[in-house]
Amino acid sequence: MCGINGIFAFHPSAAAPSRDEAVRIRDAMQARGPDGFGLWSNASGRCVLAHRRLSFLDLSERAAQPMLSTDGKLAVTYNGEIYNFPALREELEAQGVVFRTTSDTEALMHLYARDGQAMVRKLRGMFTFGIWDETRQGLFLARDPYGIKPLYIANDGWTLRFASQVRALLAGGAVSRDPEGAGVVGFHLWGSVPEPFTLYRDIRALPAGHTQWIDRAGPRAPQPYIHLASILADGARAPLPAAQIAPEVRDAVKDSVAAHLLADVEVGVFLSAGVDSGAMLGLMRDAGCSNATAITLSFAEFRGTSEDEAPLAALVAQKYGAKHIVRTVGEAEFRADLPAILAAMDQPSMDGVNTWFVAKAAREAGLKAAISGLGGDELLAGYASFRDMPRWRRRFGALAAVPGLGALARGVMNAALPGFVRANPKALGMLEYAGSWEGAYLLRRGLFLPHELPALMDRDFVAEGMRRLRPLTQLSGTLSPDPHSNNGRVCVLESEHYMRNQLLRDADWAGMAHSLEIRTPLVDIALLRRLAPAIAALKPGMGKAALAAAPSIALPAQIVSRAKTGFGVPTRAWMAAAARTNREDLAETKGLTSRRWSRKVLETFVPPAGTAQAGSPAL
């Protein structure tokens, strides 16, 4: 994992890029790549690429970036890991390609030289990269299918800039901070800024699973090269028989974990007392990683209670022969770290604090890379949304389809029982949103509902932000083509929205702040392809049970049964306390805490003009 950036003055009227600006952007990402740095520009000086390196494969200087092809016609700056690199290398060498390094970076160049832009279809992994093509005088950008790695683009009409972080682009000094209403409103709606928007109008994310070509005629529209919905739709055409699900999950996840261990450095694991991370550790052992370092967070508040994950995690670690490190975190440390947490947050997030501390602990343990069980709930129907959303649609879908009924009911209830409406903002939303999958998902994951937003920000700003954001349209777009199963639909919505915009982004900034690469074997396109027929056929609990049984030594029964009740984390209470004023020292619901925290986080970013969020929140 690294930090990449570049500047391409594509328009003939534009001045050549400033190398100083490129360096400012690059060095704003120092934590992403403390092992090395580089800067390169093409012969005409119209394109500058830069790189901050955190090295995992071929630690030598010959693998430094930006890397040039032997003939000097290609240059690449790349962030990520290509897990099928050994197979790709073998394939290329069989065709006569001679490698100078043992890094996956070089493979990207050879693949591009052979396959052109179609090369992305060959890649398994997490990645973003930019390849300068001197022959075609153009820049090729790409991002992995799930969007594990971030890539942001700022195009002012003359010059295109890209970087791994929004804040880095701003640090260059040439990108406007004009607010993007869709980003601000979207953050209030979801608790994270929904891609492709950011808080800033001139900065957008390259969508996951897309490539983009830029040449003298300017940036082309990003082109998708993969659709999660299509993969799930294909899988649903031939659902796996129930008896075959567990073996298929075992084989597929084992393969993914083994692939994700590719590195020339030690790869550890985040270990909670849940099924996902425990299975990761068990499968790491099966893949030959017999003494992995496992990091568990423990909270002082929970010590000695059933909420403490450390004892069960220790049981798992012992079962798989791991070197177990329990790192205890308390509220005092949270408060001490809070300024650094907010400073590291690339875009506002209502979460990520847990990831911050577990990444911190991993780095303290000397790790540069760690496996995470992130993605298991999305892949294997672990969330309540897989059960709730179809149920909501069955119960309320017909009523919600009546035009205006939901708004009318809300109006009546507002007048008759305003306290109930305030305390249960989503309950009435059933009559407005449960008629569609995207509406149900908004109910499931929305931090606020659209009608609540004018109480937080200027009404016109909200209206304009919603018009640009079009949240329901955006959600429904990801469901095209239809995945042909309820599990598939929820899997796509959770993977392409909550997981991408919240979990993976948090993993990136919180991990990178500690120069730690977080690897996610359960967020893997090859895995999804294999399990798509199983996902369509999963019954409640079946997926996680299969995962728990996937290691050759199955997870202890306590883990499987305990996972059903879940664990609490005190960070939510700490966040609430940090966000509250003294006079509000009252117990509050989880939803209210999230809302209050999200607003505190947003206030630490430059308050975009036209919004009222710098003032006292209307919570």
Cβ proximity to other proteins: between 220 and 391 the closer is 220
DSSP string, 593-613: HHHHHHHHHHHHS---TT--T
* Four-residue CA torsion sign, 540, 500, 524, 285: negative
Phi, psi of 371 (to 5 degrees): -80, 140
DSSP state of 86: H
Q: What is the DSSP letter of 229?
A: H
What is the size of the binding site for other proteins (CB under 8 A)?
23
In the complex with other proteins, the residue whose CB is nearer, 212 or 502, is 212
Tell me if 460 contacts other proteins by CB under 8 A.
no
Q: Beta strand pairing status for 3-8 and 47-53?
A: antiparallel
Residue 1 or 22 with smaller CB distance to other proteins: 22
Burial label, 238 (beta-carbon count in 10 A; 0-12, 13-18, 19+) = exposed
- Of the two residues 468 and 572, which places its CB atom closer to other proteins in the complex? 468
* CB of residue 148 to other proteins, shortest distance in Å: 24
DSSP type of residue 179 = B
Rounded distance, CA 452 to CA 428, Å? 12
Interaction between residue 609 and other proteins (CB under 8 A): no
Amino acid letter, 325: I
Binders of other proteins in range 466-495 (CB under 8 A): 467-468, 470
Nearer to other proteins, 18 or 328 (CB): 18
| Site membership for other proteins, residue 217 (CB under 8 A) | yes
The 222-241 site mask, x for binding other proteins (CB under 8 A), equals: x-------------------
The tokens for 399 are: 């009523």
In the complex with other proteins, the residue whose CB is nearer, 53 or 204, is 204
Q: Using CB under 8 A, which of 45, 72, 218, 241 touches other proteins?
A: 218
Applying CB under 8 A, among 20, 93, 178, 264 the residue interacting with other proteins is 178
Whole-angstrom CA distances from 75 to 56, 106, 198, 210 are 20, 10, 28, 20
Instruction: Rule CB under 8 A: say whether 116 interacts with other proteins.
Output: no
What is the C-alpha separation between 603 and 17, in angstroms, rounded? 33
- Can you tell me the distance from the alpha carbon of 141 to that of 503, in angstroms, rounded to the nearest whole number? 23
155 lies in the site for other proteins, by CB under 8 A:
yes
Stretch binding other proteins (CB under 8 A), from 130-138, 201-209, 224-232, 316-324: 201-209
606 binds other proteins (CB under 8 A): no
Note whether 219 binds other proteins by CB under 8 A: yes
Measured from the CB atom, is 147 or 196 closer to other proteins? 196
Q: Taking a C-beta distance cutoff of 8 angstroms, is the pair 523, 499 a contact?
A: yes
Is the Cβ–Cβ distance between 281 and 269 less than 8 Å? yes
Q: What angle do CA 42, 47, 50 make, to 5 degrees?
A: 90
Q: Please, are residues 544 and 563 in contact by the beta-carbon 8 Å criterion?
A: yes
Query: Of these, 81, 104, 195, 202, which contacts other proteins (CB under 8 A)?
Result: 202
Q: Cβ 13 to other proteins, closest distance in Å?
A: 5
- State the virtual CA torsion across 333, 334, 340, 344 in degrees, nearest 10: 130
Among 30, 60, 70, 176, binds other proteins (CB under 8 A): 176
Give the number of other CB atoms < 10 A from CB of residue 336. Answer: 10
Contact between 12 and other proteins by CB under 8 A: the answer reads yes
Report the nearest approach of other proteins to the CB of residue 172 (Å).
14
Closer to other proteins at the Cβ: 153 or 313?
A: 153
**Do 57 and 369 form a contact (C-beta atoms < 8 A)?**
no
CB of 460 vs other proteins, minimal distance in Å: 11
Stretch touching other proteins by CB under 8 A, among 25-33, 91-99, 210-218, 528-536:
210-218
Out of 45, 116, 157, 339, the only residue in the binding site for other proteins (CB under 8 A) is 157
Closest CA to 560 of 388, 382, 387: 382
Only segment of 43-51, 196-204, 301-309, 428-436 that touches other proteins (CB under 8 A)? 196-204
Question: Should residue 19 be labelled a site residue for other proteins when binding is judged by CB under 8 A?
Answer: no
Report CA-CA distances (Å) from 265 to 362, 366, 575: 14, 10, 35
Give the shortest CB-15-to-other proteins separation in angstroms.
5
- 136, 216, 323, 335: which one contacts other proteins (CB under 8 A)? 216
Kindly list the residues in this chain that would bind other proteins in the complex (CB under 8 A): 11-13, 15, 155-158, 176, 178, 201-202, 204, 216-222, 467-468, 470
